[in-house]
Structure 1
Amino acid sequence: MDGDARVSKRKRNPQLDCVFLYEGGDVAEGMKSEITRVRIGPQVKDIPWGTFQGCRHLAEVHFDEGTNLLTIGDNAFSGCLALRQVTIPTSVTKLDTYAFSDCGNLASVQFSEGLEIIGERAFNRCTELRSVTVPSSVTEVGYGAFTDCTNLTEVILLGGERLLNQGFLDCGFLGGERVLNKKKLSEMIGNGNSLRDCPATNAFRGCPLTTLKISIPRALFERVERLPGECRLSIEQRVHDLRRLELTQDGNILACFPLIRGPSAWNIIEDTNEETAESLHQVIRLISFHELKESSIVIELAMWKSSLVEDRARADSRTSVPDPAKSLIMDYCGFTGFLEPAIEGA
């Protein structure tokens, strides 16, 4: 065994092997068949090429809190057939080529915000993966990153700021924008028939994907958070009632796009009759409606209080906002024409 890699002799019971404490460097080939559990020391900055490749009995990887671990290198955990789940630390910014390739029993991968790059074929042939959530911090998903993950049916992308068109979010159908920013989507996870200036990465080639879910931008989520409780409940109920939208446990709204299999096992996004776009547009209109209603109340209250100060002797000090003034406020806030047609059921 290399001098930089050590084993912690903590016995849990006579039937289980020891915890392997990894503190950097190479792992001797003769040790790999014996390792069942690994603890990555806090001083480790990267796990280099092939460190745990072929550790067929490795079932558990624990990263110490406070680690400065930045990179999980090429083939670092490839072929670890007993590995069933892994949580990538928040410090890691890059998963290199084939990092977890051929981990045939890996059923759960938890990525953290801060990860930027998922390298080429990083999860190639991880056939037990069924759902993957990609953090908003990820800017690059490499060629074939999830190739031949033959049970992977769902991908959730939390980078809504980049992947949904701002024009659509600002103006809905009236702005003439389609809901997806396909150029950015192709740059990130392009499959098959990508745009000419965005080469296909075929990130999910050979996966039986049925749904691509994209979170609404954080700014829109924060607009909902600022509304009174009853308004938020109204929006949440509308999300539950609409097709192609999903509300997560943390209150985030996901726009769901169905996928079909194209030539050569490519995945093609389909929004039949623009159902996803229409549902998302209804929610945006409802958010704007509640914002406008709350703003109108605040403005009228401010004017009423002002009139009291100016003329306490007036019998009727309540002064409503004149319609022309309301129109100017709506135009200034970008609401003009946006609430038409009237919101159903609001």
Structure 2
Amino acid sequence: MMGCFSSSETNAFCDCTALLQQVSIPPSVTELGDGAFSGCSNLTDVQFAHKGALQVIGNYAFCNCLALQQVSIPPSVTELGDGAFRGCSNLTDVQFAHEGALQVVGNDAFCNCTALQQLSIPPSVTKLGHAFMGCRNLAEVILLGEGFLDLDHLSGEAALNKTKINEMFGPGLSAFSDCRLTTIKIELSQRVARLPIECRRSVEGEIPDMQRLELTQDGNIFASYAVIRRLLGSMNVQDTNNQTAASLHRLLRLISFHELKESSILTELAIWKSRIDQATTPVQPKERSEYRVLIPDPAKCLIMEYCGFTGFLEPTIEGD
């Protein structure tokens, strides 16, 4: 597809089963109409412009594209319509932009995509409807970012923000009805990645001893929650004996300690340099140590509060 049009008509290429095998959506397109490529059973490759203007993929836009195996939703898309990729039975890889604009994934958007086994959902998504109903081989869902944790209640099962999960996935995880979902993971890598490499290695070295936490070879950190299936088919996320919550508390405490330490060091260096710069006479190298000051505990508490983890590090501040 070439050109500078802004949207496609409803059913524009519906049932083009013989010739259409590849399609490239130009950056000028803002909306794909309902059923735009529905029934294109030989379509194997869909390329979206990464920096394009596409915002909406319409209802059933790629429904029953049986040969489609991979799709990467561009970061500009805010909404996937109902049944957008319904019945794409060979679809094994769905990629959402981590920092994209996607908010709504419509009902049945990936219904009966039976080859799909794993899925990562970005933090921008607020509603899934019954999006993955019938994906019977989907066993693992990864939630990107800390938004699904209740950082004020990390001491028990309340660490998992079940209210937000139910709002997004529906009661009983209805978004995944008829899936063999066994695990929901929460990705926790971003804050660790911002630490200096020595601090990061120190934190990562502790993770193997933390139950229900996983460190992958590429440095990603995941907290795992088991999915329990009930008698009537609904599902529930469970933290057995609060193992995940306890490990999360320990991990975030370590991260906070290193954040506080690094913030204190940088602040001390800045104050030290400022005092030297403001001296009335040039400070000789051997005299510079006299201008150094330590960050007082009240200031450390403010830094800790800024980091968002007041209450984690009192023993550290008090010297225990």
Cα RMSD (Å): 3.6
Answer whether contact 2:189 2:221 (CA < 8 A) is retained. no
Give 1:198's aligned residue: none
2: CA distance, partners of 1:257 / 1:236: 20
Give 2:115's aligned residue: 128
Deviation at 1:273, TM superposition (A): 0.8
Give 1:187's aligned residue: 167
Q: Amino acid of the residue matched to residue 233 of structure 2?
A: A
Deviation at 1:270, TM superposition (A): 1.1
Deviation at 1:98, TM superposition (A): 0.4
Q: Which has the larger radius of gyration?
A: 1
Structure 2 counterparts to residues 147-158 of structure 1, below 5 A = 147-158=133-144
Give 1:203's aligned residue: 175
Q: 1:300 to 1:84 in 2, by over 3 A?
A: closer
1: CA distance, partners of 2:56 / 2:292: 63
1: CA distance, partners of 2:8 / 2:271: 68
SS at match of 2:228: strand
The count of residues paired between Structure 1 and Structure 2 equals: 301
Structure 1: any 5+ residue segments left out of the alignment? 9-21, 193-200
Give 2:72's aligned residue: 87
Give 1:104's aligned residue: 89
Identify the range of structure 1 (38-47 vs 107-116) with the bigger mean alpha-carbon deviation.
Answer: 38-47
Give 1:31's aligned residue: 16
Deviation at 1:217, TM superposition (A): 8.6
Give 1:116's aligned residue: 103
Identify the range of structure 1 (33-42 vs 207-216) with the bigger mean alpha-carbon deviation.
Answer: 33-42
Answer whether contact 2:13 2:37 (CA < 8 A) is retained. no
Give 2:213's aligned residue: 245
CA shift digits 1:170-201 (9 cap, x unpaired): xx42xx78211111111111232xxxxxxxx7
Deviation at 1:292, TM superposition (A): 4.2
Q: 1:340 to 1:43 in 2, by over 3 A?
A: closer
Deviation at 1:295, TM superposition (A): 5.3
SS at match of 2:205: helix
SS at match of 2:184: strand
Answer whether contact 2:15 2:38 (CA < 8 A) is retained. no
Deviation at 1:283, TM superposition (A): 0.9
Q: Amino acid of the residue matched to residue 122 of structure 2?
A: P
Answer whether contact 1:165 1:177 (CA < 8 A) is retained. no
**Residues 1:63 and 2:48 are matched in the alignment:** yes
- Residue 63 of structure 2, aligned match among 78, 85, 97: 78
Deviation at 1:240, TM superposition (A): 3.6
1: CA distance, partners of 2:15 / 2:270: 77
Q: Amino acid of the residue matched to residue 98 of structure 1?
A: G
Q: Amino acid of the residue matched to residue 263 of structure 1?
A: L
1: CA distance, partners of 2:265 / 2:117: 48
Q: Amino acid of the residue matched to residue 156 of structure 1?
A: I
SS at match of 1:141: coil
SS at match of 1:236: helix
Give 1:178's aligned residue: 158
Q: Amino acid of the residue matched to residue 77 of structure 1?
A: F
CA shift digits 1:176-230 (9 cap, x unpaired): 78211111111111232xxxxxxxx710111111111123395xx1xx4454321
Percent identity between matched residues is 45
Deviation at 1:126, TM superposition (A): 0.4
Answer whether contact 2:82 2:109 (CA < 8 A) is retained. yes
Answer whether contact 1:147 1:206 (CA < 8 A) is retained. yes
Give 1:44's aligned residue: 29
Q: 1:287 to 1:45 in 2, by over 3 A?
A: closer
CA shift digits 1:223-246 (9 cap, x unpaired): x44543211101112224322123
CA shift digits 1:74-102 (9 cap, x unpaired): 11111111111111122211110000001
1: CA distance, partners of 2:252 / 2:196: 16
Q: Amino acid of the residue matched to residue 123 of structure 1?
A: F
Answer whether contact 1:48 1:73 (CA < 8 A) is retained. yes
2: CA distance, partners of 1:283 / 1:29: 51
- Residue 253 of structure 2, aligned match among 282, 285, 288: 285
State the TM-score, normalized to the length of structure 1: 0.74
1: CA distance, partners of 2:239 / 2:157: 14
